Structure 1
Amino acid sequence: MTEASVTHATIVLERTYDASSARVFKALADPQARMRWGTPSKHVELIYDKADFRVGGLDVSRCGPRGKLIYRVETRYLDIEPEHRIVSTETVSEGWNRLSVSLITVELKAQGKSTRLILTDQVAAFGDKDMIAGSEAGFSAALDNLAAEFSSEPANA
């Protein structure tokens, strides 16, 4: 019998955006915006089947290589403080196989006209460590893409 394994990690990523906390929060809250900036590369696709951004709300999305959306992601919102904080859980599965479960905290801190974003992902990955590395790389690339979201939208948006 094979022993089931779990790997725990805490990933902390920080970025500073040339945008107000209101603009950053709006980009985090809007599923259409998340589909634009939330993928790590142009070869990956993200589609929301359900989006309910509120305390107690549930987002259900599918992602993976373009045309092959093999991962299901369920995000449950536990705490939302507009323009300051979002706390959620995230479960990633492939078919019936659960790959990881995370507690994710996003903090927004105004710094003059800019905003400092701190994302903390406390993840339990099942099976192997690839999900840990994948989570870190995916979130890092998505947060880098978020900067482009602000350069392409008007400051008063």
Structure 2
Amino acid sequence: MAGRKNETERKVAHETVTLTRTMPAPPDVVFEAWRSVEAREIWSVPAPGLAIKFDQIDFREGGLELSRCGPKDDMRFHASVRYSEIVPDVRLIMVEEVSVEGVRLSVALVTVTFAPSDAETRMDFTAQVVALDGSNMVQGYLDGWSGAFANLEAYLKRGDVA
């Protein structure tokens, strides 16, 4: 690929991003907000001016999800997610790769757990991120998912979940 560094010269950084949130709904409702494409198109956009488009969804173990995201007029970031484990209302484990213009920026092992807490859900998110070439993807994971989870909380408070 033109302009791409030799693979042996690419810098690699490993970081773990952890976020814990208490969501205002029981685990089955929170899990449904993750499963539903329509719901995710609403809550997973992390900030105003950004957009996400799901091009392929196969929400099952071994299933592949393809999406694009970024500024509304320049959704150049491509993500592929392979679901490794789906335990309804309990846990999601997935591997996510993010690239731009065919160049891989990061690979992450992502685990999300859902635990009942009274009428709410404790949601723990862990992303073990491998960022390539100083891509700043670790900060991107922290900022992006923090914004998305704030949106998820607001979405659940509105009661929009089917």
- Name the TM tier (shorter chain): over 0.9
Is contact 1:13–1:120 with CA below 8 Å preserved after alignment?
A: yes
Report the Cα distance in structure 1 between the residues aligned to 2:129 and 2:37, rounded to whole angstroms: 23
Q: Which residue of 2 aligns with 1:119?
A: 125
TM-score w.r.t. length of structure 1:
0.95
Which residue of 102, 108, 129 maps to 1:102?
A: 108
Q: For each residue in 1:5-44, what CA deviation from the matched residue of structure 2 results, as whole angstroms up to 9, or x when unmatched? A: 0000001000001101010000011111111110111210
1:77 pairs with 2:88: no
Q: Which residue of 1 aligns with 2:24?
A: 18
TM-score w.r.t. length of structure 2:
0.92
Q: How large is the Cα RMSD of the aligned pairs?
A: 1.4
Q: CA deviation at 1:154?
A: 5.5
Is contact 2:105–2:135 with CA below 8 Å preserved after alignment?
A: no
Give 3-state SS (helix, strand or coil) of 1:118's partner.
strand
Report the Cα distance in structure 2 between the residues aligned to 1:94 and 1:100, rounded to whole angstroms: 10
The residue identity in structure 2 corresponding to 1:23 is V
The residue identity in structure 2 corresponding to 1:71 is F
Gaps of 5+ in 2: none
Is contact 2:20–2:125 with CA below 8 Å preserved after alignment?
A: yes
Is contact 1:7–1:129 with CA below 8 Å preserved after alignment?
A: no
Report the Cα distance in structure 1 between the residues aligned to 2:103 and 2:135, rounded to whole angstroms: 15
Q: How many residues of Structure 1 are paired with residues of Structure 2 in the alignment?
A: 156
Report the Cα distance in structure 2 between the residues aligned to 1:39 and 1:8, rounded to whole angstroms: 25
Report the Cα distance in structure 1 between the residues aligned to 2:130 and 2:65, rounded to whole angstroms: 20
Q: CA deviation at 1:151?
A: 1.6
Report the Cα distance in structure 2 between the residues aligned to 1:105 and 1:117, rounded to whole angstroms: 10
Which residue of 138, 148, 154 maps to 2:154?
A: 148
1:44 pairs with 2:50: yes
Q: CA deviation at 1:129?
A: 5.2
1:88 pairs with 2:94: yes
Q: For each residue in 1:77-136, what CA deviation from the matched residue of structure 2 results, as whole angstroms up to 9, or x when unmatched? A: 000000000000000000110000000000000011110000000000000051111111
Gaps of 5+ in 1: none
Report the Cα distance in structure 1 between the residues aligned to 2:142 and 2:160, rounded to whole angstroms: 29
Report the Cα distance in structure 2 between the residues aligned to 1:4 and 1:150, rounded to whole angstroms: 41
Q: Which residue of 2 aligns with 1:53?
A: 59
Q: For each residue in 1:66-86, what CA deviation from the matched residue of structure 2 results, as whole angstroms up to 9, or x when unmatched? A: 121101000000000000000
Share of identical aligned residues, percent?
A: 37
Give 3-state SS (helix, strand or coil) of 2:89's partner.
coil
